[in-house]
Amino acid sequence: MEKLIIDAHSHLWLRQDTVVDGQPIRTTTNGRSLFFGEEVQMLPPFMIDGKNTAEVFLSNMNYAQVAGAVVVQEVIDGCQNDYLTQVQKQYPNRFFCMGMAWTKDEAQAVIDAGLKGIAFPGHRMHEPLQTQMPIFKLMEEKGMVLSMCLGDDEKQIAQMAEVIQECPNLKVAIGHFGMVTTPSFKSQVLLAREGKNVMIESGGITWLYNAEFYPYPSAIRSIREAADWVGMDRLMWGSDYPRTITAITYKMSYDFVEKSTELSAEEKALFLGKNAQQFYGFRDLPSLPYVKNMSE
């Protein structure tokens, strides 16, 4: 049976050039960026122009047999609405691109541009999540998807539960697998019980377990644990591309799940693609045959 793999958490940008909490974040050289006062390897070093483009990502996706990807946003990358609007129009069957918005008017502009959802880096917000309720209500009305990353903060998790209850028809994807290595993990995952349209995606799970490294046995146990709490049908794989592939290849960001003996074939199929296909509504995805490596 042909496998279906969809990435529920990735990033694209042409250049990082922004300020967060008074500190600049800037693309430098050789895949590096100035990031909160230090230079870090933000991209693999062969991406020497600092551009994290859809075309390079598609090459990675095709090689790894990833049919589609959800592109979210983070304030550390700067607002990429214009670029992602272009990507969505150019590759409508491969990408589900989300905008960034902080006011209702900005949210309407995202909708008018043809983007499919709005990403909120809640872990970087200082105000209560309810302050954005007008945006959430508009998104619910327009059938948009909300991507929400939360911090290790029980108060903020309670706020998110209130948003879910106030907007029962709003599709919500909780990112970073509920900050799986922190004390808030279970509370975040249990948000999937708060509404019929709430999913948990694993973008960043290899970053959170970076100290353990591949094949991430603790990550597999956490996926198993989350499935026991809310069901495998509420969980989706995400890579957090491209930042995570400074340490591993793109394919490695999911094949540790594919090779695990602790999950059944059907559980892997749900987690790696089927759930995301249904949740985001991907259609007309390409068939991507395996291409043999020269070194095999």
At residue 244, the pLDDT reads 93
Strand 32-35 versus strand 23-27 pairing type:
antiparallel
- Three-class DSSP category at 146: strand
pLDDT at 1 over 90: no
**238, 175 Cβ separation under 8 angstroms:** yes
pLDDT at 278 over 60: yes
Best CA proximity match to 287, nearest among 67, 91, 74, 98: 67
At residue 135, the pLDDT reads 97
Best CA proximity match to 209, nearest among 252, 149, 172, 251: 252
Digit-coded pLDDT (tens) for 114-155: 999 999 998 888 899 999 999 999 999 999 999 999 988 899
Digit-coded pLDDT (tens) for 199-255: 999 999 999 999 999 999 999 999 999 999 999 999 999 999 999 999 999 999 999
Digit-coded pLDDT (tens) for 142-197: 999 999 999 888 999 999 999 999 999 999 999 999 999 999 999 999 999 999 99
**200, 182 Cβ separation under 8 angstroms:** no
Rounded average pLDDT over 2-11 = 94
What is the DSSP annotation of 72-138? ---GGG---HHHHHHHHHH-TTTEEEEE--SSHHHHHHHHHHT--EEEEEGGG--S-GGGGHHHHHH
What does the mean pLDDT of the chain come to? Answer: 96
pTM: 0.96
At residue 126, the pLDDT reads 86
For residues 166 and 195, give the distance between their C-alpha atoms in angstroms, rounded to a whole number.
10
For residues 254 and 42, give the distance between their C-alpha atoms in angstroms, rounded to a whole number.
20
Please write down the HEC assignment for all residues of 149-215: ECCCCHHHHHHHHHHHHHCCCCEEEECHHHCCCCCCHHHHHHHHHCCCCEEEECCCHHHHCCCCCCC
Q: Is 287 exposed, middle or buried (0-12, 13-18, 19+ CB in 10 A)?
A: exposed
Digit-coded pLDDT (tens) for 69-106: 999 999 999 999 999 999 999 999 999 999 999 999 99
| Strand order from edge to edge, sheet including 32-35 | 17-20, 23-27, 32-35, 38-41
Rounded average pLDDT over 43-70 = 96
In percent, the amount of the chain with pLDDT more than 90 equals 95
For residues 175 and 149, give the distance between their C-alpha atoms in angstroms, rounded to a whole number.
5
pLDDT at 2 over 80: no
